Every structure is written in structure tokens, then in C-alpha cells.
A and B are shown apart, each in its own frame.
Chain A
Amino acid sequence: MSWETDRLEKAKQIIEMYPQKRSALGPLLYLAQDKDGYISNESIVEISGLIGITEVQVQSVASFYSMYKQEPTGKYLLSVCKSISCEISNSTDVINSVKNFTGLSNNETDDKNFFTYESVECIGACGGAPAIQVNYETIEGLTPDKAVDLCKWLKEEEPEIVVADELQDKFGGVKSFDWAIADNNGATSPVPGFQTYDTSKEKK
């Protein structure tokens, strides 16, 4: 038993939502990753017991999806898109500038577990190419310089909650569409900030 009581409570609530236990595997992996920064082997054993499948079956699912990290991940996950619309809009330059600033190559985390860099496939921000996600909060319309500014800001401010709208105002450019009302909800760790999984918070 390696999970704390309230995480187990949350896990049981999530399992209740689905007609079959195994469906809760996805959310439980996010729960594991949120608290520990990555999905550890202990978490896999825990989840395997909660759902009733073998550990390797949990691992099989966890390793299939690119958002489940099984290596320690930094506080801020920087995901730069490299798919077609961003590629033809100079995402390569943004990618290089971020890589240079952080000193990381694809899927690498720095020694202090601060930044993790990854080049990702289309994040649905094509109208605002090139685009980046910080802990899955999207910032669109970046330039190489603005991208570096964003990284610098993260390093200095170390915000507890990453809010997309806030960062877009500071560093973003063209948006895919009108985001309308400003939203202060954001992510607190490198998993999607989603209230059902308790991985999102509102910045006051």
C-alpha cells in the first residue's frame, strides 16, 4: 500500500463513475502522475490491485500513451508542437530556441527536475501556430524570442498554477479563435488540469 488515504479515496470515487473498473485505469494513472510527478512502479502495483489486472497490463496501457510519463518529470512540462501547420509556420525555430535555452533534447528533464522538454504532435492550436503547452495549458502564436521569454518567466516566477490565459496575454500572439472571457483556472502539475481528477486549481 503506497498511496495515501485521500488519494485512495479519490481513486475509489473515480472507479465508481464507470460501469467497469478497468475503465478507471486512465484517470488513476493521472492521479499517480499528479502526486509523484511520474508513474512509479509502486503506483502501478497499487493501481493493479485497485482494478484487478496484472501489473504488466497496467504498464502496457501506461506506456502506450504519450502523456503518461514513467520517468520523473519536471515541474513544468514544455510541449512544442511539430505537426504540419506549426511545421510550415516555423515551429522548428521555436523548438530550437527552447531547446537551447533549457539545454534539453526531446523527452529530457534537467537535473533540478524543473523543466521537461518534448516535441509533440498536433495540440489543436493550428490557427495560432507555432504553439506551445506548459503543463497542457496552451499558448499560441509564439515567436522564438517570446518562447524564451516564457521559459525565463517560468524560471523566475515559479508559479504554482499555470494559467493559459495569463501566459497568452504575456507571451502569445495570434490565437486560433477568440478565447473570449479570461479564465483563471490552470494546472498544478504536468498532468492535464482537470477538476474531476483534482489536478486543476484557480489562480485568485
Chain B
Amino acid sequence: MNEKVTFTVDGKQLEGKQGQLLIEACEDSGIHIPRFCWHKRLDPVGMCRMCLVEIDTPRGKTLVPSCTTQVSEELSVETESDTVKKAQEGVLEFLLINHPLDCPICDKAGECPLQDQTMAYGPGESRFIEEKRHFEKPIPISDIVLLDRERCILCARCTRFSDEISGDPLIEFIQRGNKTQVNTFPDEPFKSYFSGNTVQICPVGALTATSYRFKARPWDLKKVSSTCNCCSLGCSVELNVSQNKMLRILGEDNEFTNQGWLSDKGRYNFEYLHSENRLLNIQSRENEDFQTINISDAIEKIKNKIKDLDNPDIKFIVGANSTNEEYFAINKFANSLNRNEFLSKDKSNVYFADDHIYNGYFSDEYTNATFEDLDTSDAIVVWAEDIKDNLPVLFLRIKKAVKNGVKLVVFGHTNTALESLADHYFGAEIVSNNFELKTSLSNIQELKDIIDSKKVTTIVGKSTPLQKKDSLDTLINHLQKVSDLKIFNCFSRANTFGAIQHIDQIKGLNDFCTEYEDSNKNIVFTIGANPVNSSFFGSKIKDILEDTEYVVSLDIFKNETTELADLILPTTAFGEKEGTITNMEMRVMKQNKILPDPGSTLSEWEYLIMIAQSLGKDINYDSVNQLNSELANQFTMTEALPTFDNLNKPSNLFGILNQKEINLNIKDVDQDSPSLLMVKRLYGDSSTQINSPSISMLGSERFIELSESTLDKYGIKSNVATLTQGSSSIFVNIKLNNLLPDNLVLAPINRRGFEKLDSTKDFDLKETKNMKDLSVN
């Protein structure tokens, strides 16, 4: 129903789409109607009454709210008549009678819709001489959000967001009439992965974030667009910097990816950039200590080591946070160092530090999906790791699609957070504890009804690193056969897709461990990766790195992996380098530089090119632009190459879709049924998070998730327990999740204390009654 209608506004003829909201249609044509409660991405409620306009009706002119009126053929609208102006002045006067004069101390001043609209549409003076209403101000409603109820104009944007968009309505209106206030329930704080969005959409300074309070005025801020690199969704962000410090990250409305929203991790995980623990100088291990040395000495050391070892195997473990240009440089460097003169596929030596990686479905017979397909499909089928924790904004996109009628099918057991949205959740009766299918998919009638001959978008990936890929193959084969299928390969870490696009052949850490045994005289480069802490194979890798001849780590913080390095090269981080990343739609998106390189840091590619040159290799790149132009030309669609110039064009600000061949050669795992499932939570103990004070405490809780029947088997009655395995002993909170099958316990892999656990070995849960049982880690 997208027929065009023509309607008149203030005498001008405008065009809109049938069914479109009047306020939006006017906005598209450049006519701004003031508003508070209406937001493009929320359902309209018509509560603030600021958007009132006059329309002609058979009964004369009437004031209607333009946010709840749809355009229709021959609608005649006036936005500047005397009646409208009086109504606008009236509404502003009403809003201001209880609003405190906090502008001098309010974060929102300078970017405040209430200020702006009062100046533009307000009455100039208030006639209110009574007592304003008072509340205690501000009150913390969660660890990161504060609420000032005096400033609140009760537009309900925050409550509507929490209810409609994020699905965790932990804030609501209390009481009625003039006494209405927004609040939480006592002891139930606003603990949502998306609470920061309410701070951004609040039209006044009622909701503020602890990390930004009193830090800057908007006119002091330098701003640049970029793309978040917390996960592979590719949320468009605006970085706000003042005096060379990153102070705030806002979500930008990218129609293709995040549509304005961010997860709290993407929004608040930036303070680490200015942490005093940041690596600023090159550290070289002399005996037991690290000493600072300069770049030429460092390069000399590496060169000498490589020569001394006489053609060693050189292995690279790369993380997910590098840009495409950096992966391109790593690839060039790695190829140039290959033992054989000619590259043969089996000799590739780059390993990706995410255990979830496997070969995936990238060949030509599969069609890659975009997020728009979530909205236009008939059904979404999910078999992947926990989407809410690893790709939070994708959770919002799925929720939106379901709200608009798309069917959702979810396979267990790592996506229990999607169960309330799903039309069908296939748990223990269909999926074994080992993530194998217990029955043939064509036997499941509910599945047939939803997907046969329908348009299906599937989000597919390993639920857990130790899962075999057989059931995924079965699923994809079946879906490919019976439906019109589009695929999202669910690799959730930031620029995984950039890595697999630009590194000729990438392998997994499993391969790293097995291939290390066959090689000797090794040099290992770890680039932006901390496998000792975050990988399932961490302890094995630790042994390997201790055994390795020479380890060079490129990173931004000291961590468990750099502890084993012989040379640490400090690198630039998010916001300090220009580059591109590729999201899970294969959309190439721009990241921009707004901060200077701190200390003596250099970008990863700069180190590698310098080392390559010192070894006499013929690699010459003077700028990241050069890297970018060369890699852009490797893409298939020549009319849409992701060069910096192209991406900086206004029409491409939200990314360019393109194709590039992907070759993965990762051996699958072969593992028995785990009893302890290690899953990554959104908040954890990564070095970036623990060095960002505003959110560092969010990843501190130690808990396990299990069903009530499993808990009964251990004879535990309380909501705390001690998890023991070998010599490890962890005091944990118990979270009951009855969607989990019997004998399956979920534990977070990225929380302190859990890194010592081995999910293939047995463990025990003991009732804990008193403080004596607490483990002291």
C-alpha cells in the first residue's frame, strides 16, 4: 500500500505515502513540526500534544496531533495558524510550569528539544506563580542511568522504548494525573542491556548517564561518525570528543543496521581509551622484567630473531578488532613471510581467536542475507550462540520483525532469551545436550507449517565452540531444500567478516594447537587477541606460548596473553584509527579517527609494514588510504567499491554492500557431550571493559544457569552454590532457567574465575551455607 497521496500543508502541495504519519511526511518534505513524545522508531501515542496542527474536516477546522494522523488524499493542513500557535504556546507553558530551571546544571542544555522548542514556539514568559512539584533528585535507577523526576515531561519515550523495543519494561509510570512519575520497582533496577538508549531519546535531562554527567557541553564536543566494533552488527555511532578525550558515544539512525539503537556495551565501553593502564610504550622482556625500548630497536630485535632461527614457522593469532586495512596488511605480511616461495593453501599461518569460527556457508549456492530480510521474510530460523548477549541489537531487530508478524523458530539451548518471542522454541525434545538433532527436521510439523515454500532468513552458527557442525549442515540443507533461503553466518565478534574476507585463508585456534605440534622453531604474533583468557583452548595455548621461541604481542592493554610475550607493541584503538570494517551482512562500513595516537602507539599495519621492510620484503604502504584502495579493488562489484572516498559520500554514509571471496579451512571439533556449557556474556572481564569504570562492575557477577530439575539433582535448595572442578572452586549465584535441558549447566566464559574451568571435565555443585565456603579468588 505505497500509493502516493498529495496533500496541502500551509498552502504548499506535498507528496506522501498512503498511511504515512503526517508529522513524518512533513518532515520528509522539510516542514518541521515540533514534538516531544513522537519518535520515528516508536509507535506514536499523541501524549505531549506539541505536534497539534489544524486540519480541515467536514465539521470545520480541528486541532489534531500530527503524529497520530495519517496523510490522505486532499488533506489540508495548517501548521502556523493562530490557533496552532496558541496551542503550541499553551503546551509549552504547561510543560514548563513544573519543569525546574536546571539548565545551568543540566547535561541536556545545548542539545535540548525543550529549550529549542521553547525558544522557537514558546510564549516567552510563564504566568505560573504556584509551587512546582518536587522529587528527590536525581535517583539512580541502575548502575549507569540516573533519573531526575522533576525534569521529566512524561513523554513516555523511555517507558515505551523499554516495553516495545527492548522488551524489558523495568521502568513505568507510577500514580496518575499531576502526580505521575517514572520509576522502577524497589530492588528491581533498570538493568537492561539497552538502558542507554533511553538516555539518548529522552527529550530533556531527566535521564542521564553516569559516564557523561557534568563532563562537557555539546558545543565543546568534536563529533565524527563511525561504526561500533563491539560486535558484527555494524551499529552506526557518533563519537563525541572534547580535549582529545572520548566522552560519549551516541547511536545514529542507520536504516540498514541498528536504526538508532545501541547496546549499553557499545555505548559505554570507551573509557578504556584513556585508562592509565593503556600500553603506551614498546615493552621488551629482559630476563623476567619488561623494559621500554624504541621502535627501531624493537624491529631490529624481531629481524634478528627471525634470522637467528633460520626460517622459522611464523604464526599469527588475530583478534576480531582490527580493521579491514589491518587484516589486509597482516595478510600481505603473512604471505611475504611464508616458508615456501609460493603460497600454497595448506601452509597458511593465520589463526582467528574466536572459538566460534568454523567453515560456515559462503559458497555461491548460498544467498547472504541483509537485516532488511528479517523484516520482509515470512520466517526467521535461529540456531546460533546467544544472540541477546553477543549481538544485542540483532535481538532488537528480530523482536521488531516478530512484532510485525514475521514468524520465529529457535533451536536451543543457547537462545532461551528468544523463547518468549518465538512461535516455536525447540528445546530438549529436539536438540540433545550435545547439540545434535534428535529427530529429522521434516518430521517436525510446526516447522513445516512455518517454513515450507516460504521466504526464510536463518541466523546460523555454532551454539558453542565444541559443537560439531553436522547439525548445522543438516539444518541448512533442509532449509535450502524446502524454502527460499537467505543466510546469516553468525560470527558475532566485531570484524570477523573483515578477517575472513581479507586474509587468504584463516584457521581456528584448534588448528593452531594441532599444527603447532608439527612445527618447530616458532615465532608467534598475537594481534589484538587474548586467547589465553578467552579461548576454550586457553590453557593449551598458554603452554604453547611459553614454549614458543619468540612471542610478539600487538595490543592495547597488558593481559594474560601479553604476559607471555617477549615483545609488546602498543597499538591504536577504536577512534584512533581510520579504516573500514565488514559487518555480518557483508556491508563495508567506515570507522573514523578523532583521537590522536596516544603515547608511542602505532597502528597494527604500521608495525607490520616496517617489520616487513626491515626483512627486505617488497611491501610499500605509506598510508592507510593506500591499503584501502588496494583492498577495495579486490571486491566483486566494481560500481560500489568500498574506498574511503566512496564511503565518505553522503549517500554511502551507512555502508556499502559488496562481495568478496571467502575461503575458510577450519577443522571441525570432535567433542563429547559437555555437561558444563561455557558461554560468553555481554559484560565480562575483557581488558576494555575492566578499564572502563562506568561499566566495569556490570561484568562482575558470577552465576550459573540451570533448570530446576538439574538443581534438584545436586540437592541444592538455596540460590547460591559452590562450583568445584579439580582445584578450582567458585562461589556462584544460581539463575533458574527451566528451558535448559536436564544436566546442562551454563557458565559464563568471560567472568573472572571461570577461565580455569574445562567444560569437558566433570564438575560438582555444592550447597553453600556460610561465609566459610566462599572461595577467595
In the complex, A touching B (Cβ < 8 A): yes
Q: Does B188 contact A (CB under 8 A)?
A: yes
Q: Are A60 and B188 in contact (CB under 8 A)?
A: no
Shortest Cβ distance from B420 into A: residue: A52
Q: Report the Cα distance A63→B185, complex, angstroms.
A: 12
Q: Does A57 contact B (CB under 8 A)?
A: yes
Q: Does A59 contact B (CB under 8 A)?
A: yes
Main secondary structure of the interface of A (DSSP, over half): helix
Tally of contact residues, A, Cβ under 8 A: 11
Q: Kindly identify, within residues 167 to 199 of chain B, every residue whose CB is under 8 Å from any CB belonging to chain A.
A: 168-176, 183-186, 188
Tally of contact residues, B, Cβ under 8 A: 14
Chain A 48-62: CB-based contact to B (< 8 A → 1; otherwise 0): 000001111101100
Q: Report the Cα distance A56→B168, complex, angstroms.
A: 11
Q: Are A56 and B175 in contact (CB under 8 A)?
A: no
Chain A residues positioned under 8 Å from B185 (CB to CB)? 41, 44, 54-56, 59
Q: Are A56 and B176 in contact (CB under 8 A)?
A: no
Beyond A54-B169, A57-B169, whether A63 also contacts B186 by CB under 8 A is no
Chain B residues positioned under 8 Å from A55 (CB to CB)? 185, 188
Q: Report the Cα distance A41→B186, complex, angstroms.
A: 8
Q: Are B174 and A54 in contact (CB under 8 A)?
A: no
Q: Report the Cα distance A56→B189, complex, angstroms.
A: 10
Q: Kindly identify, within residues 707 to 724 of chain B, every residue whose CB is under 8 Å from any CB belonging to chain A.
A: none
Shortest Cβ distance from A53 into B: residue: B169
Q: Does A64 contact B (CB under 8 A)?
A: yes
Q: How far is the CB of B178 from chain A (nearest CB, A)?
A: 13
Q: Are A54 and B170 in contact (CB under 8 A)?
A: yes
Q: Kindly identify, within residues 43 to 91 of chain A, every residue whose CB is under 8 Å from any CB belonging to chain B.
A: 44, 53-57, 59-60, 63-64
Main secondary structure of the interface of B (DSSP, over half): loop
Q: Are B175 and A64 in contact (CB under 8 A)?
A: yes
Q: Kindly identify, within residues 84 to 114 of chain A, every residue whose CB is under 8 Å from any CB belonging to chain B.
A: none
Chain A residues positioned under 8 Å from B186 (CB to CB)? 41
Q: Report the Cα distance A63→B171, complex, angstroms.
A: 14
Q: Are A60 and B170 in contact (CB under 8 A)?
A: no
Beyond A41-B186, A44-B185, A54-B188, whether A59 also contacts B174 by CB under 8 A is yes
Q: Kindly identify, within residues 146 to 184 of chain B, every residue whose CB is under 8 Å from any CB belonging to chain A.
A: 168-176, 183-184
Q: Report the Cα distance A187→B169, complex, angstroms.
A: 36
Chain A residues positioned under 8 Å from B171 (CB to CB)? 56
Beyond A54-B169, A56-B183, A57-B169, whether A63 also contacts B188 by CB under 8 A is no
Q: Report the Cα distance A57→B159, complex, angstroms.
A: 10
Q: Report the Cα distance A41→B184, complex, angstroms.
A: 13
Q: Are B175 and A63 in contact (CB under 8 A)?
A: yes
Q: Report the Cα distance A44→B171, complex, angstroms.
A: 15
Q: How far is the CB of A141 from chain B (nearest CB, A)?
A: 31
Chain A residues positioned under 8 Å from B175 (CB to CB)? 63-64
Chain A residues positioned under 8 Å from B173 (CB to CB)? 60, 64
Q: Report the Cα distance A147→B175, complex, angstroms.
A: 31
Shortest Cβ distance from A44 into B: residue: B185
Q: Are A59 and B172 in contact (CB under 8 A)?
A: yes
Shortest Cβ distance from A62 into B: residue: B174
Chain B residues positioned under 8 Å from A63 (CB to CB)? 174-176
Q: Report the Cα distance A54→B172, complex, angstroms.
A: 10
Chain B residues positioned under 8 Å from A60 (CB to CB)? 172-174
Q: Report the Cα distance A55→B187, complex, angstroms.
A: 10
Q: How far is the CB of A63 from chain B (nearest CB, A)?
A: 5
Chain B residues positioned under 8 Å from A64 (CB to CB)? 173, 175-176
Chain B residues positioned under 8 Å from A59 (CB to CB)? 172, 174, 185
Q: How far is the CB of B59 from chain A (nearest CB, A)?
A: 31
Q: Report the Cα distance A63→B177, complex, angstroms.
A: 11
Q: How far is the CB of B770 from chain A (nearest CB, A)?
A: 24
Chain B residues positioned under 8 Å from A54 (CB to CB)? 168-170, 172, 185, 188
Q: Report the Cα distance A64→B175, complex, angstroms.
A: 4
Report which of A41, A44, A56 forms a contact with B172, defined as CB distance below 8 A.
A56
Q: Report the Cα distance A63→B184, complex, angstroms.
A: 13
Shortest Cβ distance from B172 into A: residue: A60
Shortest Cβ distance from B179 into A: residue: A63
- With a 10 A CB-CB cut-off, give which of B172, B173, B183 has the most chain A CB atoms: B172
Q: Report the Cα distance A57→B183, complex, angstroms.
A: 10
Chain A residues positioned under 8 Å from B168 (CB to CB)? 54
Q: Report the Cα distance A56→B176, complex, angstroms.
A: 15
Q: Report the Cα distance A57→B185, complex, angstroms.
A: 9
Q: Report the Cα distance A94→B363, complex, angstroms.
A: 85
The 4 closest A-B pairs by CB, nearest first: A60-B172, A55-B185, A56-B185, A56-B172
Could you list 5 A-B pairs, sorted by A, with CB under 8 Å? A55-B185, A56-B174, A59-B185, A60-B173, A64-B176
Given contacts A54-B169, A57-B172, A60-B173, 10 further A-B contacts (CB under 8 A): A54-B168, A56-B170, A56-B172, A56-B184, A56-B185, A57-B169, A60-B174, A63-B174, A63-B175, A64-B176
